[in-house]
Amino acid sequence: MKAKKTLLAVVAAGALFLSACSGGGASGGDAGGDGGGDGGLIGVAMPTKSSERWIQDGNAVKEQLEEQGYTVDLQYAEDDIPTQVSQVENMITKGAEALIIAAIDGTTLSQVLDDAAAADIPVIAYDRLIRDSENVNYYASFDNFLVGQQQAWSVLNGLGLAELDGTAIEGAPAGPFNIELFAGSLDDNNAFFFFNGAMDVLQPLIDDGTLVVKSDQTDIEQVATLRWDGETAQSRMEDILTANYSDGTTVNAVLSPYDGISRGIISALTDAGYSVGEGWPVISGQDAEIDSVKAINSGEQFATIFKDTRELAAVAVDMAVALLNGEEPEVNNTEDYDNGVKVVPSFLLDPVIVVKDNITSVLVDSGYWTQEEIDG
Ligand code: BGC
């Protein structure tokens, strides 16, 4: 660590770092004590700007690191794996002291992480676990299995079968209800946690006939959506409607793992002649993206799962700063996130279900969105 910092002090002898250096932080402090405020470079790799949540994440991480005196190299790879690999390589070459990475494909970074390890650069997996590498130091995320359960609970709530915490409602309608299932991208470890969490709730109801999947597509491989792409989901939903619901039956609910996918599903339903109101299905989501919050307000989407990107950023930033100060980052899970090589120590935050009724208390009162943004 000391050698790296000395090297960094040399590399960093530019105007940018002068103020920090004159403050006495960067030059030759002990191995552990000079992480905060020394103006060191931290690389932040995000998957894509095409989804709003990653923009919020990137901005929050950058802002919070800069507040602590770090310099941030924030890069987006537009969901292109080689681009992300070369961005991370570039961060290492530029002398990054730590890397915070939200991977596009959790299995493709092994080589570049070997390079990071060789340069003694700690790596924090941001929200998505990086798989198949020894060189992932910590993982900052949400309780992703719970996210999936919450998505399923929100669907059941919309159907009148359960409370939002999953408790069964007495005297609930017997059904059967037609449901179709969507999952995320199979190269994202989270997709499995979300789907497994959701199926933990839904499978018993499919087994007892309360829920019916007319397409019969219930395996994650069948219902996955490459790169979480909304248009891919839209065309799969169109195919499902044509193949299974042309006989006058209707789909009553759609399990969707992400707001962008939900919007694709909504387009397919609208194109097929469904309209909001009687006969419009219950649709879940995730990320509280502004267009989907509006859609919840208008009744197109039933719920989303809010994961406060500001809090996640704070966890990742604290981890990076602790590591640079030679301290151990705080974790609250050392069991669940096995990346294929080791269990990565994790800090998991709690996700929150948002439905029309609590948009204001959860999203507006916390300052995540303004009422104007939601109404606009
Ligand atoms: C994240 C979700 C997000 C999805 C698509 C997942 O890894 O955990 O919040 O909806 O990627 O971007």
Please write the tens of the pLDDT for every residue from 255-267: 999 999 999 999 9
pLDDT, one tens digit per residue, over 274-307 is: 999 989 999 999 999 999 999 999 999 999 999 9
Q: Which CATH superfamily is domain 144-306 in?
A: Response regulator (3.40.50.2300)
Q: What does the pLDDT average to over 51-59?
A: 95
Residue 107 CB partners (closer than 8 Å, separation 6+) = 131, 132, 187
Q: Report which residue type is found at 41.
A: L
- Quote the ligand 1 centre to 187 CA distance (angstroms): 12
Q: Are strands 253-255 and 177-181 parallel, antiparallel or unpaired?
A: parallel
Residue 20 to residues 12, 23, 69, 253, 365: CA-CA distances in angstroms? Answer: 10, 5, 8, 55, 36
Instruction: Match domain 2-136+308-350 to its CATH number in 3.40.50.970, 3.40.50.2300, 3.30.450.20, 3.10.20.30.
Output: 3.40.50.2300
Q: What does the pLDDT average to over 150-155?
A: 98
Q: What does the pLDDT average to over 145-154?
A: 98
Domain residue ranges in the chain = 2-136+308-350, 144-306
pLDDT, one tens digit per residue, over 185-208 is: 999 999 999 999 999 999 999 999
Q: Report which residue type is found at 225.
A: T
- Quote the ligand 1 centre to 264 CA distance (angstroms): 16
229 lines ligand 1 (CB under 6 A): no
- Quote the ligand 1 centre to 147 CA distance (angstroms): 11
| Residue 39 binned pLDDT confidence (cut-offs 50, 70, 90) | confident
258 lines ligand 1 (CB under 6 A): yes
Nearest-CA residue for atom 9 of ligand 1: 287
Ligand 1 pocket mutation, candidates 190, 256, 311, criterion most atoms within 8 A of CB: 190
Tell me what pLDDT residue 38 has.
65
Widest CA span of the chain, in angstroms? 75
Instruction: Quote the pTM value.
Output: 0.89
Residue 233 to residues 185, 193, 253, 256, 287: CA-CA distances in angstroms? Answer: 11, 19, 15, 9, 17
Secondary structure of 117-162 in the HEC alphabet? HHCCCCEEEECCCCCCCCCCCEEEEECHHHHHHHHHHHHHHHCCCE
Q: Determine the Cα–Cα distance for residues 81 and 202; give it in Å rounded to an integer.
A: 33
128 lines ligand 1 (CB under 6 A): yes
pLDDT, one tens digit per residue, over 82-105 is: 999 999 999 999 999 999 999 999
Q: Do domains 2-136+308-350 and 144-306 have the same CATH topology?
A: yes
190 lines ligand 1 (CB under 6 A): yes
